[in-house]
């Protein structure tokens, strides 16, 4: 318990420092008017703090787990609470297991298949949807329990390995919790765009 409290305290301190830096940059920009530019969408502070804390808890959970079923609803919990949706809620009020994500999204009329991640237009639509506050997921459909990543507010960045402009993402990595991340390109979650399909909630 002490480890988790210390971990959360460190996360909150990190967010506070980043916010202070953002504030200083904002003040500096106001002092020197610049040419009009396209507004850049950034991850809101509350969502950033939520993801940092969730990732810290997930790493701790996996480190202390005693069987393969431990922490298996952490990913659906994160998706549910980040986007404030009910698609992955269990009947008992909890959250369904990780394996349920893909079948739920595929059979639901509330989710739209944007297309393959190898298509630049699809990646553009995914980032736009996330910036508009819509739940957007990238799923490895090569297997029923394939890696799932959330597309989060941000901007497209060039991926050398994909040779595409890819959206901003966050993910809890089930097979290696230490690789869990936030605010990085989608290419960080998947080695290639092959078998990766994007979906967005209506």
Domain assignments of the chain as residue spans, ordered by start:
41-201
Report the pLDDT value the prediction gives residue 39, as an integer from 0 to 100.
Answer: 52
Report angle CA 186, 189, 195 to the nearest 5 degrees: 85
Q: Report how far residue 96's alpha carbon sits from residue 79's, in angstroms, rounded to the nearest whole number.
A: 11
Report the pLDDT value the prediction gives residue 118, as an integer from 0 to 100.
Answer: 98
DSSP E strands: which ranges in the chain? 111-116, 136-140, 148-151, 157-159, 164-166, 168-171, 181-185, 196-201
Q: Report how far residue 200's alpha carbon sits from residue 202's, in angstroms, rounded to the nearest whole number.
A: 6
Instruction: Spell out, as residue ranges, where the chain has pLDDT lower than 70.
Output: 1-40
Extract the tokens encoding 115. 């297309």
Extract the tokens encoding 19. 């916010």
The model's pTM: 0.80
**41-201 CATH:** 3.90.1720.10
């Amino acid at each position: 318990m002490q480890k988790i409290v210390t971990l959360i305290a460190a996360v909150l301190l990190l967010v506070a420092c980043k916010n202070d830096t953002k504030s200083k940059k904002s003040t500096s920009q106001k002092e020197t008017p610049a040419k009009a530019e396209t507004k850049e969408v950034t991850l809101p502070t509350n969502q950033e703090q939520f993801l940092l804390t969730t990732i810290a808890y997930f790493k701790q959970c996996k480190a202390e787990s005693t069987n393969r079923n431990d922490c298996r609803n952490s990913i659906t919990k994160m998706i549910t609470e980040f986007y404030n949706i009910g698609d992955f809620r269990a009947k008992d009020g909890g959250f369904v297991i990780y394996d349920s994500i893909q079948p739920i999204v595929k059979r639901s009329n509330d989710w739209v298949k944007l297309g393959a991640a190898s298509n630049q237009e699809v990646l553009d639509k995914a980032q736009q949807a996330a910036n508009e506050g819509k739940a957007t997921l990238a799923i490895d459909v090569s297997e029923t329990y394939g890696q799932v990543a959330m597309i989060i507010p941000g901007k497209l960045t060039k991926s050398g390995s994909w040779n595409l402009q890819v959206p901003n993402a966050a993910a809890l990595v089930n097979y290696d919790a230490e690789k869990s991340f936030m605010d990085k390109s989608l290419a960080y979650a998947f080695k290639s765009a092959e078998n990766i399909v994007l979906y967005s909630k209506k």
